[in-house]
Structure 1
Amino acid sequence: MTSPDSDGLLAEQLLRLTRRVHRIQKHHLEQRDLGITPAQSRLLRTLAHWGSPPRMADLAERLEVVPRAVTTLVDGLEASGKVRRVPDPANRRVIRIELTDDGRKALGELRAARRSAAEEILAPLTDEQREALGGLLNTLIDGAPVARC
């Protein structure tokens, strides 16, 4: 059984690791000079996994941000030619967001930057430790909901 102190320490370690991951990923993105922020990167990755072009409201929901934040991200990505706004064929009042060829190319660069960052972060671990970490992270990600008091 773990103590509240050890749980607090684990939580702090996870937060520190998250900050380190973000810092290293940002560094690898800056090295590639893509001009894409981490938030824009997340939006591009989300778009890439969507079947048909989503509405901005759908993106906001998926990214768990307010719609205005998505508008700002899309504005920046559209200005750099990575995404475009397109009318919905069934309802011209609805605007959907789709990746451009430049956006798909940027995604390839983003994936390479993330792989480089992951290699740097995971370098101290053996293959067995990486496998164990993956299993533990999956357990935490897919874990049971927290009981409400």
Structure 2
Amino acid sequence: MPDNESDLLMQVARTLRRRWSAVYAPMGLTPHQARALRVTGEHDGLRLSAIADALRISARSATEVVDALENADLVTRRPDPTDRRAILVAVTALGEQTLASLTAARTKDADDFFGRLTDNERASLRDILGKLVR
């Protein structure tokens, strides 16, 4: 069992990632694809470079992720009205439905995972984590 905070935090992060991978699998999505769909769904069209930045991956890798989402009819590419040379990625109607399912499943799984904590412990954890990311 890890005996320091950083090891424990990384173990929790890996556990959540494994759990969410299992949640996404029935939807045919990898964690990167699910995150790209979530990021794209927060905007009315997003350039590939912005998706790559949000995912902290290379532009080439972002292209592969978006290609997979496009092949599944979850996103579409369209010209950027402000720059003829640029392409925007936008979520389709099916993508919106999938995003809603993904969000609900992820929220349920997080509630199950953190459900072993009391309300006070969860509030303390949020406070501590918030303090660390500021």
TM-score, reference length from structure 2: 0.92
Matches within 5 A, 1:1-149: 9-30=4-25, 33-50=26-43, 52-142=44-134
Query: Retained in 2: the 8 A contact 1:28–1:116?
Result: no
* Stretch of structure 1 that moved more, 87-96 or 111-120: 87-96
Identical columns (%): 32
Structure 1 residues 106-131: Cα deviation after superposition (integer angstroms, max 9, x where no partner): 10111111112111211210001011
Q: Deviations over 1:64-111 (max 9, x none)?
A: 211011100000000000000101123322111000001100101111
* Alpha-carbon distance change, 60 to 18 in structure 1, aligned in 2, over 3 angstroms: same
CA distance in 2, matches of 1:19, 1:109: 22
Structure 1 runs (4+) deviating above 4 angstroms are none
The CA deviation at 1:61 is: 1.8
Q: Kindly report the root-mean-square deviation, in angstroms, between the aligned alpha carbons of the 2 structures.
A: 1.5
Unaligned segments of structure 1, at least 5 residues: 1-5, 143-149
- Greater share of strand residues, 1 or 2? 2
Count residues in correspondence.
133
Question: Residue 33 of structure 2 contacts residue 65 of structure 2 at CA under 8 Å; is this kept in 1?
Answer: yes
TM-score, normalised via structure 1 length = 0.84
Amino acid at match of 1:24: R
Q: Which has the larger radius of gyration?
A: 1
